[in-house]
Amino acid sequence: MTDHADFTAQDENLRRDILDALLAEAAFDGFTDTSLEAAAKGAGVPAGQLQQGLLERLFPRGISDVLTYWSMEEDRAMVEAFDALNPTPHGITKKITWLIRQRIEQLDWNREAARRAATTLALPIHGTLGAQLIWKTADRMWRTIDDQSTDFNFYTKRASLSAIYTSTLGRWMADQGDAAADEPYAETWAFLDDRIGNLMQFEKAKGQIQKALPNPSDLVGFLGKLRYGRGQ
């Protein structure tokens, strides 16, 4: 995963411009090397710079880096929106519900691109990356509300939230919505409420995960590779 510290402010602005252009391209052509190059041209990158390897420098792993960058940008926007709330929702369940909704609603402007991204990340070549990005989003949610859990509880909370977030995102993508309604995606949010319920459902999910594992340390060792800090 490319470190933001490797880029100048000018690089970051250009990465953002290319991503914005790619989201429009991807809605029709998907996330491919061809659509990425077209997006770079659409963002005003001269052909000469492309020939000199500018895209490879900004996104060394190509589409994988672009999808990672987009996910991290959406996570950052989610956290900033939560930090700006006054007052914040009361209680863990309401806070987590708010964060899930916010993270998904941010995608509404790029709904088709989000569908295309999900399809791309479902491919075997990107399967591990997709799991990492979902895990990181769940981790950012817990860290945003200052979760203090440690050890096995740390991982099972994120595993449970990853499952809830993923299923709700899938439900939202399938939700045709009702533009005339006060809440266009009411069915999706009802689905979310059913899945999240209250904190006891997290505890129940945690217990189910623990019972299913013959050796809990194996899961901790695997998930440890996916653990990221809030500020990254």
Chain segment 180-225, per-residue pLDDT in tens: 888 899 999 999 998 887 555 666 656 665 555 444 444 444 445 5
Amino acid letter, 152: F
- 230, 140 contact by CB (below 8 A): yes
Average pLDDT over every residue of 150-172: 90
Q: Which of 40-44, 161-165, 202-206 has the lowest mean pLDDT?
A: 202-206
Give the mean pLDDT of 20-35. 95
pLDDT confidence tier of residue 174, bands split at 50, 70 and 90: very high
Residue 28, burial from CB neighbour count under 10 angstroms (0-12, 13-18, 19+): exposed
Tokens matching residue 64: 């994988």
Q: Is 78 helix (H, G, I), strand (E, B) or coil?
A: helix
User: Average pLDDT in the 126-138 region?
Assistant: 94
- Tell me how far CA of residue 143 lies from CA of 82, 175, 194, in angstroms: 12, 29, 23
| Predicted TM-score (pTM) of this structure | 0.84
Residue 153 is predicted with a pLDDT of 85
Least confident of 12-16, 102-106, 132-136, 145-149: 145-149
Q: Which of 89-103, 141-155, 200-214, 217-231 has the lowest mean pLDDT?
A: 217-231
Quick one: pLDDT band at residue 67, thresholds 50, 70, 90?
Answer: very high
> C-alpha angle with apex 208: 204 to 209, nearest 5 degrees?
120
pLDDT at residue 53 greater than cutoff 60: yes
Give the model's confidence band at 172: pLDDT under 50 very low, under 70 low, under 90 confident, else very high.
very high
pLDDT of residue 180: 81
Q: Can you tell me the mean pLDDT for 75-90?
A: 97
Contacts 24+ apart (CB under 8 A), 79-85: 79/140, 79/144, 79/230, 81/106, 82/144, 83/144
Indicate left, alpha or beta for 181 from its phi (over 0: left) and psi (-120 to 50: alpha): beta
Write down the residue that tokens 């710079």 correspond to: 49
CA distance linking residue 140 with residue 228, whole number of Å: 8
- Structure confidence at residue 211 (pLDDT): 59
Q: Which residues contact 227 (CB under 8 A, 6 or more apart)?
A: 139, 154
Residue 156: pLDDT band (50, 70, 90) is confident
Please say whether the beta carbons of 175 and 159 come within 8 A: no
Nearest Cα to 26, choosing from 104, 102, 118?
Answer: 118
> What is the Cα–Cα distance from 162 to 177, expressed in whole angstroms?
24
pLDDT beyond 70 at 28: yes
pLDDT given at position 219: 45
Residues 5, 158: Cα–Cα separation, whole Å: 27
According to the model, what pLDDT value does residue 149 have?
87
Q: What is the mean pLDDT of the chain?
A: 86
Per-residue pLDDT for 2 more than 80?
no
